[in-house]
Chains A and B, each alone.
Chain A
Amino acid sequence: MAPPFLTAENLPDATRAWAVVVPVPFDRCAAPAPGARLAPAEIVAASHQVETHDLEAGCDPTDRGLFTAPPLELDYSTEDVALAPIGDAVEAHARAGRFALLLGGEATVLAGSARGLARLGRGGVVRLEGVLGCEDVRHGLRAVPRTATRRASELLPVRSSGWRLAAEEARAFATGKDLAGPTARRLAARPGVAPATADEVVAGLPQDVWLALDLGVLDPSALPMPGNLEPGGLAYADLTALLTNVFASRRVLGAELTGLCPPTGDVLPAFVAARLGLRILALAHRQRFPGGDGRR
């Protein structure tokens, strides 16, 4: 059995868990190289070095018990077949009232998550990504990292923020559909410049949202890994402040954490991903159990 995320103790199944961690080793067309399939296991391994009381969120999300599911089995024979298990998992956990945290895998995961969310008939997507994923087709494929945000937007409301790279086609699409949120430059706190607010990041989205966080939104100094070379990304503190404000303004149904591409050659990228996973779970825990002692 695969080791669980954050804790040494996995619940026997999802039914007693308030939150479920779902490894999604989706790896079909990630840049700069294959390897995203190894990311969930790397993040889980790194998570065992994370101290689980989140001082800034003020809680320990492992207190009420987590369940880490086995990695999704993915079949890439067709796009629909490949994405189906992701949508099924998202839909099932959301219907059961459980917070789902998906550990990708490449950014394409969002195209699968959106399918499950669309079947729920509610919710929008807060998308944070380094490259605006609003191209239509790339390498002859409709579901790849560069198109995932667009695929999601075809099914439900999406707002993408934090990006610092965009193809002309992607920018035109996002602008035309009014799904382009503030860029990284507008979100970065710096002297004399007031950063964009979380209101701009969630503008137009319904009260229930899915948080789709691609790690490429972070600056290379915060997430030094192959492929994340473009300067001007978010600082870790900018990102966590933004996450806090998103949780304060919307009910977050679940989240995905994508874009880590091993082998990175260092322990830090997977550790940063694991730390962000803790923060997301802690914010979700605080949202679901305000003021409650979380101990089992």
Chain B
Amino acid sequence: MNGGGAESSGRTCGFVASPYEATASFVAGCAFGPEAIATELERAAHTDLRPGFAQVDDWTWVEAHHRSVVVPDTMRRDVESWTRALLVAGRLPILVGGEHTVTAGALAAFDDPSSITVVQFDAHADLRQAYEGTPWNHACAMRRALDRGHPLVQLGIRSAVREEIGEVYGVGADGSSGLLLRCGPPPARLLTRSGLRDRGLDEVLDGIGARIYVTIDLDVLDPGCAPGVGTPEPDGLSFWELLDALERILGGRTLAGADVVELCPARDDGRTARLAARLTAFLGTA
């Protein structure tokens, strides 16, 4: 395994599938994401080994709930329950969505939120207090993480509305410098896509604690390499940019949990599912 923190290496992981989709606002279909990733994981693992990627030693998946579940309380309860079970068993929980709202279920399994920094890779800030009448919209996912008290580091962001940025980072914050900071509590940092390209990670690394939860919304990637998402945004990261950033962040830190969300097979030609599978395996062996 390259890049995984020394403290976290050697743990076995457990996969939790949450095919939850209740608030997709553009192209629907992320409920079929876990199935596509699981299929691709097994296919890729049994055909070709990829240099630099460790093999997952246990492909057992649990489905946290049925695809027909669209009640956020039910989804959160079930995802939290399965995540807790993995933590109790000493396994690294890897959640696969579904829409980004599922992150809230996994985070609820951690009883010490202030000690776990959420590191978000995403095109969208997802900081809205509520959207389309619910606080459990995928556009609110990171606001809910802040509500729990998790320090937050946002990377690759290139889409937001003024209200959410102002509410979290202060009135008048605009992002044009590429970096936004909030003292907290809980503290938060946002590095825009341009900021990541021009400034690099250095200014956010010291905001990332020793224990981290990584959440990857696949739309952080460029639509050219990951077209299969429900809310595509131009000018995303390349696969290698994302891997480089992950390796740097994971170095010397403990991965407490992770998720890969928002795969939309309806817009995919197979490459996004393969990429998501590689990311899932990468995180699962970190």
Contact = CB atoms under 8 A, between A and B. Distances in A.
A171 to B, nearest CB: 29
B192 to A, nearest CB: 5
B159 A55 contact: yes
Contacts, number: 71
Contact of B124 (A51, A222, A235, A266): A51
A222 B176 contact: no
Most buried by B among A53, A57, A58, A266: A53
Nearest to B192: A55
Nearest to A266: B267
Contacts of B193: 56
A240 interface: yes
B175 A275 contact: no
A256 to B, nearest CB: 19
Interface residues of B, number: 31
A59 B232 contact: no
Interface in B109-160: 124-125, 157-160
B161 to A, nearest CB: 5
Contacts of A235: 235
Nearest to A275: B234
A52 B233 CA distance: 13
B162 A63 contact: yes
Most-contacted residue by chain A among B160, B222, B223, B231 (CB, 10 A) = B223
A195 B61 CA distance: 48
Contact of B26 (A56, A267, A272): A267
Contacts of A268: 223, 227, 232
Given A49-B25, A60-B162, A237-B197, A55 B174 contact: yes
Most buried by B among A55, A235, A268, A271: A55
A60 to B, nearest CB: 5
B224 interface: yes
B-side binding surface: helix, strand, loop or mixed? loop
A58 B176 contact: yes
Nearest to A219: B224
B234 A272 contact: yes
A237 B195 CA distance: 12
B175 A55 contact: yes
Interface string A273-296: 001000000000000000001000
B194 interface: yes
B2 to A, nearest CB: 23
Contacts of B158: 55-56
A55 B157 contact: yes
B174 A58 contact: yes
Contacts of A237: 194, 197, 235
A150 B253 CA distance: 59
B36 interface: no
Interface in B72-126: 124-125
A57 B232 CA distance: 20
A237 B237 CA distance: 11
B234 A267 contact: no
Contacts of B25: 49
A222 B194 CA distance: 17
B52 interface: no
A236 interface: yes
A221 interface: yes
Nearest to A50: B159
B224 to A, nearest CB: 4
A61 B124 CA distance: 18
Contact of B235 (A52, A57, A60, A236): A236
B99 to A, nearest CB: 15
A204 B160 CA distance: 37
A63 B157 CA distance: 21
8 contacts: A51-B161, A53-B161, A221-B222, A237-B235, A268-B223, A271-B232, A275-B233, A275-B234
Q: Which 10 A-B residue pairings sit nearest by Cβ, starting from the closest?
A: A58-B176, A55-B175, A58-B174, A221-B224, A53-B162, A236-B234, A236-B235, A51-B159, A60-B162, A49-B26
Given A51-B125, A53-B174, 11 more contacts: A52-B161, A55-B158, A55-B160, A56-B175, A56-B178, A56-B193, A57-B176, A58-B176, A59-B174, A60-B161, A267-B267
